[in-house]
DNA sequence: TATTGTTATACTCTATAACTATA
DNA sequence: TATAGTTATAGAGTATAACAATA
C-alpha cells in the first residue's frame, strides 16, 4: 500500500518487470516457488530412471521398514490410502516392490522391495545426493540445517492450527 | 545405511512409527511437506472467499500492475500461457477481473480488476495477514526473514542449474 | 517468421465416497 | 462396528503441441 497505482507505461524489454506487491514477502508464495524449483531439479536428475519424488519416497520407506503395511507407509508420507494404491500398482508392475500377505492381519498387505527395487534405490541415492548437493552448495551446510529446522517449525505450526 | 534391516515387529500403537531414513534431511522432502501445510492453511483461511493461492496471486499482480498483459502476469508467476487462460476465464466469470483490448498490440489483452475484484482483494489481504501471522508467530520475524532469504537462494541455485 | 492468446489433451497429485473382506 | 485396501470420480496444477490473429 505504498506506490501510487498508475497504468504501466510500455517500456518492457524482453522480460516483464512487474510489481509483485506483497508476494515475495509471503512464506507460502516463496515456499511454493522454491519447492517447484527443487522438484523440477529432482525430476531432471532422477527422470532418467523414470522416478518421481513420490516413488522415491515410497521406495525409501519400504527399504527402511520392510514388511510395513500400505496404510502405514501412506500415513507417514502423507499419502491417502486411496491414492497410494496406484503408486504401488505401478511399482509392482515395474518389478520394484511386492505386496505380500501380512502375517497376522489378512486385511493388510506387507510391503517389500524386490532386488530390482533395492538396486534402483541404491542408484537413486547417488542421483539424489548430486541433486541435494546443488542446493546445499547454494546455501551452505548451516543454511541447509537452518532451512530444515525452520520448515519443521512451519509444519508444527500448521499441525497445531489444524484443530481450529 | 546405518541400522540393520530387520522386519518390524508388530508393536504399533495407533500411529505408525516408521524409519524415514534420509528423507527428513532432504531439502525437497521437507520443503514439500511444509508447502502442503501452508497451502492447506491458506485454503482453510481463504476458502470461505472461494479463493485459491493461484487466484490470490493473479489478483495481486493485476492490482499492482493494471493493464499488464496476460503473458506478463503468467510469466512473473510461473504460470504458462496456456494455463492462465482458464484461471482468467474464471475470474472474469466471477466478475473479479476484465480483459480489455491492449492499446498498442491487438494480439494482447490488458488486464484490470473490477471494483468487486478490488474489494475482494482488500478483504483477502486481511485474511492472508492472519494466515501469515500463524507462521511468523511460529518462527519469529527473524526466522521468517531467514526462511525467505534461504528459499530465494534455493531458487537461484535451481535457475542457474537450469541450463545444464 | 515470431509472438499472443487459445484450445485440446495428458499426466500427476490430492480429496471424497462407497464398496469388500476382514478384524 | 471399525479398519485395510480398493475403486470410482472429481478438482487442481502442470506440460506440450497446434492453431488463428496479429506483429
What is the per-residue pLDDT across B30-81, written as a single tens digit (0 to 9) for each?
999 999 999 999 999 999 999 999 999 999 999 999 999 999 999 999 999 9
DSSP state of A20: -
pLDDT at B13 over 50: no
Residues of chain B (129-158) having a beta carbon less than 7 angstroms from strand D: none
Closest nucleotide C1' to the C-alpha of A83: C14
Q: Which of residues 24-43 of A touch B (CB under 8 A)?
A: 24-42
Dist. CA A127–CA A41, nearest whole Å:
11
Please give the mean pLDDT across all residues of chain B. 90
3-state secondary structure at position B127: helix
- Of residues B145 and A4, the one with the higher pLDDT is B145
pLDDT of the residue at A104: 95
Query: Each residue of A47-83: pLDDT tens digit?
Result: 999 999 999 999 999 999 999 999 999 999 999 999 9
Helix (H, G, I), strand (E, B) or coil at A9: coil
pLDDT at A162: 66
Please report which confidence band the pLDDT of residue B160 belongs to, taking 50, 70 and 90 as the band edges.
confident
Find the Å distance, CA of residue B45 to C1' of nucleotide C7: 34
Distance, Å, B1 CA → C19 C1': 41
Count CA atoms closer than 13 A to B37's CA, side-chain side: 23
CA distances from A159 to A19, A93, A155, B13, B138 (A): 33, 35, 6, 20, 11
Q: What is the DSSP string of B74-98?
A: HHHHT--HHHHHHHHHHHHHTTSEE
Query: Which has the higher per-residue pLDDT, B4 or B76?
Result: B76
Q: Residue B79's closest CA among B101, B99, B53?
A: B53
**What pLDDT does A159 receive?**
76
B17 neighbors A134 (Cβ within 8 angstroms): no
Q: From CA B109, how far away is CA B121, in angstroms rounded? A: 21
> Is the Cβ of A90 closer than 8 Å to some Cβ of chain B?
no
Q: What 3-state class would DSSP assign to A78?
A: coil
How far is it, in rounded angstroms, from Cα B39 to Cα B1? 34
Give the whole-angstrom CA distance, residue A51 versus residue A66: 20
- Cell, residue B55: 487466484
| Chain B CB within 8 Å of residue A100 CB | no
pLDDT by residue (tens digit) across A116-153? 999 999 999 999 999 999 999 999 999 999 999 999 99
Amino acid at each position: 500500500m505504498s506506490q501510487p497505482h498508475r497504468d504501466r507505461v510500455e517500456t518492457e524489454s524482453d522480460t516483464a518487470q512487474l510489481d509483485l506487491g506483497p508476494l515475495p514477502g509471503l512464506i507460502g508464495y516463496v515456499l511454493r516457488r522454491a519447492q517447484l524449483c527443487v522438484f523440477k531439479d529432482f525430476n531432471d536428475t532422477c527422470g532418467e530412471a523414470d522416478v518421481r519424488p513420490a516413488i522415491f519416497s515410497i521406495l525409501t520407506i519400504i527399504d527402511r521398514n520392510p514388511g510395513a503395511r500400505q496404510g502405514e507407509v501412506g500415513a507417514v508420507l502423507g499419502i491417502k490410502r486411496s491414492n497410494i494404491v496406484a503408486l504401488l500398482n505401478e511399482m509392482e508392475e515395474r518389478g520394484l516392490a511386492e505386496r505380500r500377505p501380512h502375517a497376522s492381519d489378512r486385511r493388510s498387505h506387507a510391503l517389500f522391495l524386490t532386488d530390482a527395487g533395492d538396486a534402483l534405490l541404491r542408484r537413486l541415492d547417488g542421483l539424489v545426493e548430486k541433486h541435494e548437493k546443488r542446493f546445499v552448495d547454494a546455501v551452505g551446510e548451516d543454511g541447509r540445517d537452518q532451512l530444515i529446522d525452520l520448515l519443521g517449525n512451519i509444519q508444527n505450526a500448521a499441525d497445531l492450527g489444524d484443530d481450529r
